[in-house]
Amino acid sequence: MEKQVTFHEYFKEWIDLYKVGAVREVTLSKYKMSLRWVKELAPSLLLHDIDRKSYQSLLNQYALTHERQTTLDFHHQLKGALRDALDERVILSDPTRKVVIKGKTPRPKKDKYLNQFDLQKLLDTLELTEKVTFDWLILLIAKTGLRFSEALALTPEDFNFFNQTVSVTKTWNYKTNEGGFMGTKNASSKRHVSIDWKTGMQFAQLIKDLPQDEPIFVEARVFNSTVNNLLKRYCKKTNIPVITIHGLRHTHASLLLFAGVSIASVARRLGHANMTTTQQIYLHIIQELENQDNDKIMRYLSGL
């Protein structure tokens, strides 16, 4: 490694060496976006000149236009490369030590999930015809909690109507023109998700004449915004909070937790790598349920 190499040049080489072919395309695109920001914010910063001060300055510039969580993700990607540079003795100290993560004020968060009453109103509004439409996609995600890319990748052979399950073994690349099947987000994402008998009967009729190994919901390129806009129209039509298609996944998980389903079961159903992820996402719901449990405990104890 030459002394005069810039940080962005080293970062690009590091990405090509350690990340290309080792991470999913979605993840790789995030690394490449980070590389573009490094080139824009610090085009002449030399690798051997990076110290805590210059690295903190780079993060601070990035944080001016990004929220704190996004800045933290940016830092983690850069830190991976810099830690390797330290191991390789290309730099002599760790510039990422004790950094301060900043970020602009987050935008107001939209409602992430619906209550059971509002979800029922939404599902009653769907136009479920004999032909496969995005209305059926909305129904399926609401009933299973699948990720958007997982639902798009479903083929008729993924349905087991005898056991009332849907097998999640792949995702659909909807973010690029190429499309096509891809791997799941992680190993835990490969799973069998149970479906209720009514949904099973509906889909058994809907897909019985479709090719077994071709995606049910994909004919041409599918845009996330197209389905979100359809969902938005239905939410406004029924006068319920406007949520996204990913919000339906949150709705599914939230209603299961409120129904008393264990965190472990919800984590498996969602395909989370561990329960910690589930607990972090649904912390407010879990805290609310704990308060209800405390009331039950006190009522029980007072009756002894």
Q: What is the pLDDT of residues 44-83, one digit of tens each?
A: 999 999 999 999 999 999 999 999 999 999 999 999 999 9
Do 116-290 and 7-87 fall under one CATH topology? Answer: no
Please enumerate in sequence order all residues whose Cβ is within 8 A of that of 67, keeping only pairs 6 or more positions apart, or say none. 103, 104, 105, 106, 107
Helices (H), the chain: 7-18, 25-41, 52-63, 68-87, 116-125, 134-144, 148-152, 197-207, 224-237, 245-258, 263-270, 275-281, 283-302
The model's pTM: 0.72
Domain residue extents for the chain: 7-87, 116-290
Question: CATH fold of 7-87, please?
Answer: DNA polymerase; domain 1 (1.10.150)
Q: What is the pLDDT of residues 7-52, one digit of tens each?
A: 999 999 999 999 999 988 888 999 999 999 999 999 999 999 999 9
Mean predicted confidence (pLDDT) in 277-303: 80
Q: Does domain 116-290 have CATH number 3.40.50.300?
A: no
Does residue 216 register a pLDDT over 50? yes
Answer for the pair 134, 178: CB distance below 8 angstroms, yes or no: no
Mean predicted confidence (pLDDT) in 194-217: 95
Return d(Cα 113, Cα 4) in angstroms, integer: 51
